[in-house]
Amino acid sequence: MDLFSNLELGVATMLKPMNILFCFVGAFLGTAVGVLPGVGPLATIAMLLPITFKVSPEASIIMLAGIYYGAQYGGSTTAILINLPGEASSAVTAIDGYQMARQGRAGTALSIAAIGSFIAGTVATVLIALFAIPLSMLALSFGPVEYFALMTLGLVASITLANGSLVNALAMILCGLLLGTVGTDIYTGSARFTLGLDGLADGIPIVAFGAGIYGISEILTGLEEELTKPAEVAQISSMIPSREDMQTALPPIARGTILGSVLGVLPGGGPLLASFGSYALEKRVSKHPERFGKGAIEAVAGPEAANNAGAQTSFVPMLTLGIPSNPIMALMMGALIIQGVTPGPDFMNTHPALFWGVIASMWMGNLMLLVLNLPMIGLWVRLLRIPQRALFPAIIAFASVGVYSVNTNPFDLVVMVAFGFVGYLMTKLRCEPAPLLLGFVLGPMIEEYFRRAMTISQGDPMIIVQKPIAAAMLALAAVMFVVALMPTIARKRDEIFVEDAK
């Protein structure tokens, strides 16, 4: 099948009333959680996963995807209006966006952010469609050795591009891999590390795990310092940007789209890295870098385009290779697996309607977001007045019911609470939860491929070096890790993410 008939199938899938509805629900919820500080897309997706099991895999992934990229739109709204990024990836937008708002140009900043995101989302959708086929063709020729190498590369790359201590992140991956081994061994049927509990016989339930590590632990973090006053919201004047503003903003949008698309595909990349990268790039190419930090429109347009492009292209490794590049993708992959669909190289052949439908829905979702965000900005501003003390009980209630409903097993709630505590402890010890989740999801697969590879070679580990593709991937992983450990690069990494820590 060629690209056009594929896209035709995708559009046909997207236009089913059920899918349109869920795309809208996803985009709407995504904007809402993006606007609300303290509620992230990860926690939301973890909470809503159980609900999605009641609908078709198409509708559920379309909705979850909508939440993910919708949050990128919503996050910028709070960043511009109250200088409080709703999402980490909007932290850069807050720098110049809020300055623009203080100068009475909040409307311009908001519409440039939305238009930039829309353009980036549209281009990224086309890019995904173009690159998905060749990537999965390549992956189809892979055997267990190559898969083992590819997953190792994915895990290593995901931590070298993320922030925080490398050694801690590596340790978190290993913990994730170990947690992934809990449950019944697929080859021998013996129970492993279940502590004799029936609830762990099928492994640690992923929804409870995700809801605990992200939802519950985020609430504990939020309760450390409670906001007593509702934030002050900047006044919005005209929403229509001037011709001059558009002309200044378009080149950064184009650059941000390309940069974001590339950084999104990389494991561990995605929207956060994309927006920081784009800000740095715009500052470098600008003729007036001194205006940055004082309300430069380029510094809003570029990063906003980049984070949306990055959010979308981060679907590529999950959909084509079966390797999630960030925790949100890991949760979505978990959702697909529970629905009986395993993403991987032959995913687009076995489930073409699902694959192309999701891609087409991204474009539709972006269109909906444009409508949701520009004329309806007043609604989102009002959302900022909801006090946090009403949100936290809602998250806890929905997470409890949601997690319970997956297996109708009360034990899953105990798992959620346990991992909520672990997640909170981890943030206190400066260990990122993201590599833990990635290791947990990839663990069972990496173990299976490792065992199969070693069985083929009769226990000779040298098989990894004898296969050229696998050897190249492992070498690349080693190089990335060593480079990231070098003092100069390590300092650069700290600089890039230093804004995020504030």
Partner 1 sequence: MELRVQRAQVSLTDLVTSVMLLGTAGFFAFTAWRGLKIGTPGAMGPGFFPLMIATLLAVLALVIGARAFSHAARPARVAGLRAFALVLGAPVAFALLIGPGGFILAIATSTLMACWSSRLMSWRFALLVTLGLTALSTGIFVYLLKMPVSLFGSWAGL
How far are the Cα atoms of 44, 83, 175, 304, 402 from residue 212, in angstroms, in the given order?
Answer: 12, 28, 16, 30, 12
Q: CA Rg, the chain, in Å?
A: 22
Q: List CB contacts of 408: < 8 A, sequence separation 6 or more.
A: none
Give the nearer residue to partner 1 in terms of CB position, either 287 or 430: 430
CB nearer to partner 1: give 374 or 396.
396
CB of 446 to partner 1, least distance (A): 9
Going by C-beta distance under 8 Å and a sequence separation of 6 or more, which residues neighbour residue 368? 23, 24, 27, 66
Q: How far is the CB of 159 from partner 1 (least distance, A)?
A: 12
Are the beta carbons of 183 and 203 closer than 8 angstroms?
yes
Nearer to partner 1, 82 or 177 (CB): 177
Residue 383 CA to residue 32 CA, distance in Å, equals 8
CB 295 within 8 A of CB 99: yes
Cα–Cα distance between 93 and 80 in angstroms, integer?
A: 7
Q: How far is the CB of 61 from partner 1 (least distance, A)?
A: 18
Q: Which residues bind partner 1 (CB under 8 A)?
A: 51, 54, 167-168, 170-171, 174-175, 177-178, 181, 185, 187-188, 190, 192-193, 216, 219-221, 223-226, 228, 387-390, 392-394, 396-401, 403-405, 408, 410-411, 413-414, 416-417, 420-421, 424-425, 428-431, 447, 450-451, 454-455, 457-461
Handedness of CA 384, 388, 394, 395 (dihedral sign): positive
Q: Are 321 and 136 spatial neighbours (Cβ–Cβ below 8 Å)?
A: yes
Nearer to partner 1, 167 or 483 (CB): 167
Judged by beta carbon, residue 292 or residue 421, the one nearer partner 1 is 421
Element (H, E) at 331: helix 327-338
The distance of closest approach from Cβ of residue 393 to partner 1 in the complex, given in angstroms and rounded to an integer, is 4
Closest separation between CB of residue 410 and partner 1, Å?
A: 4
Q: Which is nearer to partner 1, 324 or 420 (CB)?
A: 420
Q: Which amino acid makes up residue 454?
A: M
Nearer to partner 1, 42 or 173 (CB): 173
421 membership: H or E segment, kind and range: helix 411-428
Residue placing its CB nearer to partner 1 in the complex, 366 or 400: 400
Query: Which residues lie across from 183 on neighbouring strands?
Result: 192
Beta bridge partners of 192: 183
Q: What is the DSSP letter of 88?
A: G
- Angle made by CA atoms 465, 467, 472, in degrees to the nearest 5: 70
